[in-house]
Structure 1
Amino acid sequence: MPIVDLAIYADGHRTADPTSLDEAFELAGERGGFAWIALDDPTSEELHAVATEFGVDEPFVGHALAPHHRSGLERLGDALHLVLRPARYDDAAEAVRFDELHVLLRDDLVVTVRHGDAPDIAAVRNRLEAHPEWLANGATRVLGALLAQVVEDYAPVVAGLEQDIDEIEEQLFGGDEHVSRRSYELLREVIRFQKSVHPLADIVDALAERAQEEGTADAVRRALHAVGGRVRRVSERADAFSTLLQNALTVHSTLVSQRQNEQMEQLSEASVRQAEQSKRISAWAAILFAPTMIAAVYGMNFRVMPELHWVWGYPAALGAMLGVGVLFWVVFKRRKWL
């Protein structure tokens, strides 16, 4: 069985390390404390063995084995079932990687079922064992410590997201064409992170209300209050990241549209200039066409041609060429082709 640790706690101290579930159940009852069973990636049969030995409601097994996409809290008989989504940030891939932690809490029992590597259950256990006055407050204090560890592990995720968003802001006004895709993909990761963080505020409030109703020690309530404050700060940062990335996408879209408009204006101006040049070329071509045609006709060397033997024939031909050219020039000038 993938039991990472199995211990009995009473009066704030670790009093026994049972070697089997049967022994753990007996010792927990004898010593009036609680058993803490930590499992990593157990099978259905292994979870059923724990549930059967300690009288845990069977739905816990199904819930603890099914993947969840949000943190949550539910009551199963006389126990509480808490789902937490520990996270770490993969900076190279710019992705939030999630693990999963299920906690079953009862006055005489704590069962942690971890899928993945986070949080560090051993570190939480060692921290609690170093402060017997904390463990003396019962199993609820263990739950508070686990919550605190998960929220503490969110800090590097927040830092990683913030750094990448700062880089996106620099890219945004640097004209990087890939910034839109990067912003969208990072926004998707932020939304996934929000789904894991947002429910924690209500979960902590519900646990604090339960502690108040049951008269739990002030130290436990203060611990839950501290965790609640950190949860809200992380949640606010995640919301701010979402807003920044949405604004970045909007600004990028505006900048792209502006650049496209500028390009269209430049193309339009170029088209106008080309049209003006075409008109000038066409006008001069028409002006030169008439003299060229007259010269071509008289250059054919036919013997019988109008005014061929007239003394003024040559000057008349030149005058006709010049006159037609001037006439065309005046016409095109009035039409502003020249």
Structure 2
Amino acid sequence: MIVDNAVYVDGIRTEPPSLEETSETVRDRGGFAWIGLYRPTREELSAVAKEFELPSLAVEDALAGHQRPKVERYGSMLFVVLRPASYLDETEKVEFGEVHLFLGEDFVITVRHFETPDLARVRHRLEADSALLAHGPVAALYGVLDEIVDEYAPVVAGLENDIDEIEDQLFSGDRGVSRRIFELSTEVMQFQRAVDPLREVMSSLRQGLLSKDADEDLRDAFRDVEDHVIRVTERADGFRQILQNALTVHSTLVGQQQNDEVKKISGWAAILFAPTLVGTIYGMNFRVMPELHWAFGYPFALLLMVAMGVGLYFVFKRKGWI
């Protein structure tokens, strides 16, 4: 559905009552139109596409969703796909949405399939800076980009907190930490797929959308967003490396623990084997055997069994096997 429809002339907002009057207002007064749609039906988006002559392929992408972040040029119009994200602390999951933007010379159309970002807040922030909004559709694109990239910060903080907990859990002997590492690695990889393409998107926008004669403040604003994108992607890369190292350390610790258990089992098996060996030898039914008719043979055999067992126990104890 259409959640907002406005025309901005020199940064000042007016609200036409219909799409047809929106186009007429832009033609008569100049400025640019900003149409906001939230989970539109095919009929609603088709009506907007017909009014502003949007390319059919881009319209299909906006309806279908599940697009990677990208920027595509159709003649004088740009089609931009962005992936907002939010962190759910209860489930330790990262939830992703999609925002599609159609940028023409005198219009910008935003199609949102997710509760975030709050584009109404973006509008209000830009409307408070009429000088920036006077730059036209590119100012609206900057506002949406800045909002989405800013909302990556809580996601990064949530993932970082989970990684800190894993590092504490890693040396506690918890066998379930490997599953948590794997699940968090999946979330980090999905987050990387959402933010990594933004570096290319920002580079394309900066080179193709902002001319050398563009306002310096606007160029600085896009450069600031690009710097934030680079920092987020680097943090995400770092998270993935940390989790890979954590999984390696966990495997090493499990292997060491298994070796210690094998040593304990082997030590006790050797201790029990010694008296068994003595008992087996003296349990043979041969007529001619040393000490067979010796009066102290039985106590001696018992003492030998105990002595060998105790001796092996202290040897293994000193070596740390048991």
Both structures adopt the same fold (TM-score exceeding 0.5): yes
* Equivalent residue in structure 2 for 1:109, among 97, 107, 114: 107
* Equivalent residue in structure 2 for 1:145, among 136, 143, 146: 143
* Equivalent residue in structure 1 for 2:59, among 58, 61, 64: 61
Structure 2 CA distance, aligned partners of 1:89 and 1:324? Answer: 78
Q: 1:106 to 1:321 in 2, by over 3 A?
A: same
For 2:4, give the aligned amino acid.
D
CA positional deviation for 1:125: 0.1
Query: Which residue of the partner structure matches residue 79 of structure 1?
Result: 77
Match of 2:151, SS?
A: helix
* Equivalent residue in structure 1 for 2:185, among 187, 191, 197: 187
* Equivalent residue in structure 2 for 1:171, among 166, 169, 188: 169
Query: Which residue of the partner structure matches residue 207 of structure 2?
Result: 209
For 1:8, give the aligned amino acid.
V
CA-based RMSD: 2.6
For 1:7, give the aligned amino acid.
A
CA contact (8 A) 1:69 1:195 kept: no
Structure 1 CA distance, aligned partners of 2:6 and 2:296? Answer: 114
CA contact (8 A) 2:195 2:229 kept: yes
Q: Deviations over 1:177-218 (max 9, x none)?
A: 100000000000000000010111111111111244363222
Structure 2 CA distance, aligned partners of 1:146 and 1:175? Answer: 45
* Equivalent residue in structure 2 for 1:321, among 274, 293, 306: 293
For 1:66, give the aligned amino acid.
A
CA positional deviation for 1:323: 8.6
Structure 1 CA distance, aligned partners of 2:270 and 2:67? Answer: 59
CA contact (8 A) 1:40 1:113 kept: yes
Query: Which residue of the partner structure matches residue 222 of structure 1?
Result: 220
Identity rate of aligned residues, in percent? 46
CA positional deviation for 1:72: 1.1
State TM-score, norm by structure 2: 0.88
Q: 1:95 to 1:69 in 2, by over 3 A?
A: farther
For 1:21, give the aligned amino acid.
L
Q: Deviations over 1:191-247 (max 9, x none)?
A: 000001011111111111124436322222111100000000111111111011111
Q: 1:29 to 1:282 in 2, by over 3 A?
A: same
Query: Which residue of the partner structure matches residue 243 of structure 2?
Result: 245
Please tell me whether residue 99 in structure 1 is matched to residue 106 in structure 2: no
CA contact (8 A) 2:85 2:155 kept: yes
CA contact (8 A) 1:104 1:111 kept: yes
CA positional deviation for 1:54: 1.2
State TM-score, norm by structure 1: 0.84
Please tell me whether residue 272 in structure 1 is matched to residue 244 in structure 2: no
Please tell me whether residue 23 in structure 1 is matched to residue 9 in structure 2: no
Match of 1:110, SS?
A: strand
CA positional deviation for 1:110: 0.4
For 2:73, give the aligned amino acid.
R
Match of 1:213, SS?
A: coil
Structure 2 CA distance, aligned partners of 1:290 and 1:41? Answer: 97
CA positional deviation for 1:264: 1.1
Which has the higher mean CA deviation after the structures are superposed, 150-159 or 59-68?
Answer: 59-68
Q: Deviations over 1:92-125 (max 9, x none)?
A: 1111001110011112010000001011000000
Which has the higher mean CA deviation after the structures are superposed, 59-68 or 192-201?
Answer: 59-68
For 2:133, give the aligned amino acid.
L
CA contact (8 A) 1:57 1:77 kept: no
Structure 2 CA distance, aligned partners of 1:234 and 1:179? Answer: 26
Query: Which residue of the partner structure matches residue 8 of structure 1?
Result: 7
Structure 1 CA distance, aligned partners of 2:297 and 2:287? Answer: 7
Structure 2 CA distance, aligned partners of 1:89 and 1:74? Answer: 29
CA contact (8 A) 1:44 1:61 kept: no
CA contact (8 A) 1:51 1:57 kept: yes
CA contact (8 A) 2:61 2:67 kept: no
CA contact (8 A) 1:89 1:160 kept: yes
Query: Which residue of the partner structure matches residue 312 of structure 1?
Result: none
Match of 2:293, SS?
A: helix
Query: Which residue of the partner structure matches residue 294 of structure 1?
Result: none
- In the comparison of the two structures, how many residue pairs are matched? 303
Q: 1:69 to 1:278 in 2, by over 3 A?
A: farther
Structure 1 CA distance, aligned partners of 2:59 and 2:71? Answer: 15
Structure 2 CA distance, aligned partners of 1:147 and 1:36? Answer: 15
CA contact (8 A) 2:100 2:111 kept: yes
